[in-house]
Structure 1
Amino acid sequence: PSLGNRAPVELFCGLPPSTPLSFCIDTKQQRIVEVPLRTEAIATWLEELRTSIQDMHKPMTVAREQQTLRNKRMQKYARRPNFDVGNYVLRSRVDQKHYDKLLVTWVGPYQVVRADKHSFAVRHLLTGEERDVHPSRLKFYADSSLAITEELREHVSAQGMLLSVSTLNEYRWNRAKRDYEVLVSWKGLESIEDSWESTQQLRKDIPVLLTQFAASKNDQRFLQHVTAAVKHRSRRK
């Protein structure tokens, strides 16, 4: 306001003022690039600027296109599923994580009912439940002519059965596993179906019952082993 809305260069030098966008710096050539003021010259200058930017990005664009083509060629040699809709497959189920490794169990069979672009829909034989599964988690079991027998249905139903412990009977030392095993009786099953289970597994499911069983035996080494395993489990929680 003190200069009457005039630029200092006008009043002291008698020169026309420049706009804030009259020049910019070319960092590559370290020189000032002047922006023309005439409309025709501005259009030409802008077109040259756009062309220069496109040329600058062209190597990256070409490299990206080449990588896309390489990826497509790799997909041609990718392993394709060896099953189709109507076939029976096994599904991998991750039961637990042990020392940063996944313990996988194959369960099923399931029937493939739909093939999507990146997954398959499979149906449970008993419940009819459908779920989407990645092809890498499926394995061919039988074609569509598989006979669904009563034995097969019983096998599938047993995969999701939860057993309850009836009693803990005996124990023994497994030298190969370096762990104690306990003979477990299961509720609802016959005595011939009793099974030897490791304390590493029982400490996760029945830590209190396992500790009481170890305390009832006159074996200090067995009790110390079980107590240490249960405490280690508690600290990890």
Structure 2
Amino acid sequence: MGDFVLSGNVTRRENKLIPHWKGPHRVVVTNNGWTYDVQEFVAPFAIITRHIMRLKIFRDKYLGVTEDLWEYATYANGGHMVQRFLDCKMKFDTHQWEVLVQWRGLDEAENSWEPARILLEDFPLLLARWVRTDAKAEGMRSFVLNETSSRRGK
């Protein structure tokens, strides 16, 4: 109990069952050796019963703290997920920082430049960690760290 898992829903397509994994969810009850109750990690925090065949242990080497996991779950269940940040630049016409994002599950050709302010709303911890550890992000480090610290103070 307490483990994080992905929960699979299946759809039938051309005589095949195709799982669609969502989560992470937290295991809250072991019903028996075959079924488990898992709770959504974001509102409405619903508890659903899943067969062990429809559960996968959640693993992501880049996530380790609860806030990161919450951030991941919130965004993963409603849109694209960031695989990693690749580069940053100051857009000269708007004087706004942009970040080149590699999206999880999408091809390299679908990498996109996104406004740093938007990424700060969706991924403040991931972006702050990236600017602290990647030399490519040195130029926008003070911007991100100032923004994240001022948001914590609100």
Q: Which of the five TM-score ranges fits, normalised by the shorter chain?
A: 0.3 to 0.5
| Higher share of residues assigned helix | 1
| Greater Cα radius of gyration, structure 1 or 2 | 1
**TM score, norm. by length of structure 2:** 0.45
| Higher share of residues assigned strand | 2
Relative contact order higher in (CA < 8 Å, ≥ 6 apart): 2
**TM score, norm. by length of structure 1:** 0.30
